[in-house]
Amino acid sequence: MKSFTSIIVFSAALVGFVAAKPAVETRDSCKGNQFWYAKLGCCLDHGGPSAPPTPPRSRDCPKDNWYWNTKQGCCTPRHEDPPEPTCKRGFSWSKGSWCCEEDPTPTTGNSTLRKLLRVALMGEVTTRCPSKKTECPIIGAKSLNKSSDYECVDTYQDIKHCGGCSSLGEGQDCTAVAHSWNVGCEAGACKLYTCKPGYTVSKEDGKTCIKS
């Protein structure tokens, strides 16, 4: 009789354990106010929280469209089909951690390497450009005189060298924005005006082209 009673108690405990085990989320398990985010395999609330938690140190989430999700341990979108994540200055998007990670702080060594690169490409360091313009080396120039292979660029307005010399790994080429048509460079930051047919400028971030 004791053995039979023990079996019943054990069976009841086992049923309780199975019932307590969390179910794996699927698209069908999402509630009416949720959407399925396939990239992370989870259900997310439409719109997200009004006051999302602060990301851990050295991490951040793209403004407006994303927020830090403590449960997932990464950034998650507020709505379905979010635009490509764009991080604030000093941070870069990491597909490994699915959040914006702080860029490494430039060291003296990096500055020295950049200076040596400029010397190798330009033949000298002193600038020969007018005030408010930056001397950028021209990669692939076929001139026999190395010191002439450069251009004076206004990095605050030039769409190819917006924010710095792209030939030195600085700034951004605004024309490289996917599906863009008319772009500009304002105060060293790319500005997206219009997109190619079939696409429109995202109202959420103004920096990406999304399908119409």
**What does pTM read for this prediction?**
0.42
Whole-number average pLDDT of the chain: 78
- pLDDT per residue as tens digits for the range 101-129: 988 765 444 555 555 555 555 454 455 67
Domain map (residue ranges) of the chain: 19-102, 131-211
Nearest to 64 by CA among 81, 83, 41: 83
**CA 106 to CA 203: how far, in whole Å?**
34
**CA 147 to CA 163: how far, in whole Å?**
23
Q: What is the dihedral of CA 113, 115, 120, 126, to 10 degrees?
A: 180
